[in-house]
Structure 1
Amino acid sequence: MGNYPAAYQGDQLSVDRGFYDRVAEAPGRELVEEFILPIRSGRAWEVPAGHVCRISTPEGPQVGDLNVWNRHDPRERMWASRTRQLQAAHISTYDRVWSTLPFLRPLFTVTGDSLADYGTDSDGGRVHDLLGTRCDPYVNQMLTDEAFDFHCHSNLTRAVLPYGLTEFDVHDVLNVFQCTGLNDEDRYFMKACPAKEGDYFEFFAEIDLLCALSTCPGGDLSVHMWGPDARDPLEVCRPLGVEVYRLDESALEGWSSPQRAAYSQLHGMKLPRWEDQ
């Protein structure tokens, strides 16, 4: 791979690593929510600002598709493509997930990743993928002529209904624990998840969040879902665990929730002169 400099650079993209290390190591965390997400299902939950959320693999390798919104305004949601540009196509500790325009601020910062040392494998694969998006029943039926209602898009759609959201609010995902890359033809590939029992991905909520997670019906992706070798990967599907922790106020000293983007949103337009109306 080349060493050409990143397009987006600036001090505004740096983080206080000392603060996030303190968050990761903060004693006296209080567990405020905990659940196990069964195979081929989805669930939504809230993570208040200043709390930490951990996603884990309690029974071994399993991919999870994550969506994130501002709890109070779902128009503000995770922006996968801009996060790829500002951070990386595969994220880990100290990386941030950014929100859509006109908000453009960090939604969360990664504070823990048990797979941080995975790096790049011999095939060019890396974990915690923002390159691709969720599997969905539309592409599946196009490729197989079969309807299947438990793809990640469908799981996320069902998950957010209790919060007043719909299929139109489901967006491009962070594929937690998923190992992906681009092959020599510049085409997206997925390979078997390297997570083991007890691995985790943890993040700090910068604002009040609504999160939704799908346990991918592809399981650990060791079985092809499409193509000549495709078969049902049910045997490699496993649950995911979710925990939300409240931190002691002392751990948050010096931190404040980020404000939305400072740009005026005028886009070259002039404000009307009301006295002329």
Structure 2
Amino acid sequence: MMHIRRSPEEIAANRARYEDHQKKGLEFAPKALPAPSPLPALPISADAIIHQETIPGSWYWSTKLLRGEAIRIDQAESNSTVALVAWNAHDTSERINLVDTVKMQWTTALGKGRVIFSDMGRVMFSLIEDSSGANDCLMGGSTAASNAAKYPGVKTRNTRDNLILVACKLGLDRRDIAGVLNLFAPVSVDYAGGFAWRGKRSNSGDYAELRAEMDMLVGFSNCPHPLDPDPIYQPKPVIVTRFRAAAPAADDLCRTATAEAIRGFQNNTMMLA
């Protein structure tokens, strides 16, 4: 492997550019996310609904989502974590990237008003509604090993294996599965980088709505989060509704909240040109 040696001057210049970019991003970003979406969720107009699917506890599902459509993920009368992955429908090498989503918006607090980036710097989703304010974009989902340790002697399904099945049914494989967005997962990150489940779980009936900003293949897994403190494996059904979203206004919060979001939507425009 060839190592490139950089001069101290080049390293200093690169650091200065990064710090200037960080300063501008932090100055531009809003001081706080808007208040969570109100409960209960308003009904979706019947003529806007394209499809509705109930995902049983421990199960999985996938759908194609077109730009301008949206999905509502609704816990109904339960407390369930829903793991989500996504790929560009026209080029599945472009996929959801939660690390960049955090890094480019300077926060791990992913809620209403934020966007979710791909690994090519484009916006995949706008989070247009979110009643919980409790979404984990760093820790990932459960595995066979984590479930075996948490629920000894119990046969369970897990997020990793569910998403492998999703990927295979879409003509992909396990190498195509990137980071996982966990909706309704009140995970906090401490100063040392450790993860913890906050005392209060999300509310029964919480929901999130994500507007598609490109054509996508989207996969879901309905299994408990690895940090969920419930010692009993008992995931409940969730309802996913695919619907036609209202066209975003010029001052749409998701499109204007941060300098990085503006830049991401510019990248989307170039992709569509």
**Which residue is 2:98 aligned to?**
80
> TM-score scaled by structure 2?
0.70
Measured after TM superposition, the shift of residue 196 of structure 1 is 2.6
- AA of the residue aligned to 1:68: A
Q: Contact (CA 8 Å) 1:66, 1:214: kept in 2 or not?
A: yes
1:1-277 to structure 2, matched below 5 A, reads 7=22, 9-10=24-25, 30-87=48-105, 88-100=107-119, 103-116=120-133, 127-138=134-145, 150-183=157-190, 186-191=193-198, 194-218=201-225, 221-223=228-230, 231=231, 233-235=232-234, 237-247=235-245, 251=247, 259=267
Q: Contact (CA 8 Å) 1:57, 1:198: kept in 2 or not?
A: yes
- AA of the residue aligned to 2:117: W
Q: SS where residue 207 of structure 1 aligns?
A: coil
Aligned length: 228
Q: Contact (CA 8 Å) 1:192, 1:222: kept in 2 or not?
A: no
* 2: CA distance, partners of 1:51 / 1:239: 23
Measured after TM superposition, the shift of residue 71 of structure 1 is 1.1
* 2: CA distance, partners of 1:50 / 1:86: 23
Q: Give the 3 Å change call, closer, same or farther, for CA 253–191 of structure 1 in structure 2.
A: closer
* 2: CA distance, partners of 1:95 / 1:6: 19
Gaps of 5+ in 1: 16-20, 117-126, 224-230, 263-277
Gaps of 5+ in 2: 1-19, 31-36, 256-264
**CA root-mean-square deviation:** 3.8
* 2: CA distance, partners of 1:140 / 1:6: 41
Q: Select between 32-41 and 127-136 the one with higher mean Cα deviation.
A: 127-136
Q: Contact (CA 8 Å) 1:61, 1:196: kept in 2 or not?
A: yes
- Listed one character per residue, the Cα deviations across residues 205-239 of structure 1 (whole Å, up to 9, x for unaligned) are 0000111111114599232xxxxxxx4x224x211
Q: Give the 3 Å change call, closer, same or farther, for CA 29–96 of structure 1 in structure 2.
A: farther
Aligned-pair identity in percent equals 21
Measured after TM superposition, the shift of residue 181 of structure 1 is 1.3
Higher helix share: 2
- AA of the residue aligned to 1:239: P
* 1: CA distance, partners of 2:58 / 2:97: 24
- AA of the residue aligned to 2:243: Y
> TM-score scaled by structure 1?
0.69
